[in-house]
Amino acid sequence: MKVNNVNIEAAGAFVEQVKADPSLAKKSKRVEGRWSFDEGQPQFSAVMSHKTGETAVHADFAPFMGGEGLAPDPIQYCLYGLAACYAGTFVGLAAAQGVALRSLSVVAENRVDLSRSLGLSEVPVVEQVSLTLQVDTDAGEEHLAELERLARERCPGVYCLSNPIPIEFKLGRSR
């Protein structure tokens, strides 16, 4: 059964599986991308695998940063991932609680100071990120506020931006 285009039976079954075996909650994602040295092409591309196939994505820096603006820039993909994750978390929580939504949109925005990226300062690159959620539903304001609070607490994308996460860097030579 689907509510808000979320298969709540599958999601509920996964919750029960994780209750029985918490190790099932641990998942890994991988993206392998390549820089393009060909003029007139986006600077970076990756093919991401998913259950039903693969999707190619491309990124290109804005002209003021040395690209041609042929595709979204990397930070736009970061915001896209955050927006999609936050929306999905909110919609999934609503579906699990039987809250029908007629529409939902989210705007993810940021303010950046590129002077650090240019080697001109030590100020933080990202000054602020904001998420604005617009929802059309019959649910009451208190219920919506509770769903939003839970989405904020449980969204992996929000967690990634709100908490220090260890990053391991490796450098190798290609042949």
- Domain coordinates in residue numbering, the chain: 2-21+73-162
pLDDT tens readout for residues 140-157: 999 999 999 999 999 999
Contact between 81 and 110 under an 8 Å Cβ cutoff? The reply is no
Third-level CATH fold of 2-21+73-162: GMP Synthetase; Chain A, domain 3 (3.30.300)
| pLDDT at residue 60, as a whole number | 98
pLDDT tens digits, one per residue of 16-33: 999 999 999 999 999 999
pLDDT-derived band at 175 (thresholds 50, 70, 90) equals confident
Cα–Cα–Cα angle for 155, 160, 161, rounded to 5 degrees? 105
Residue of 47, 78, 100, 104 lying closest to 161 (CA atoms): 78
Alpha-carbon torsion (6, 8, 10, 15), positive or negative:
positive
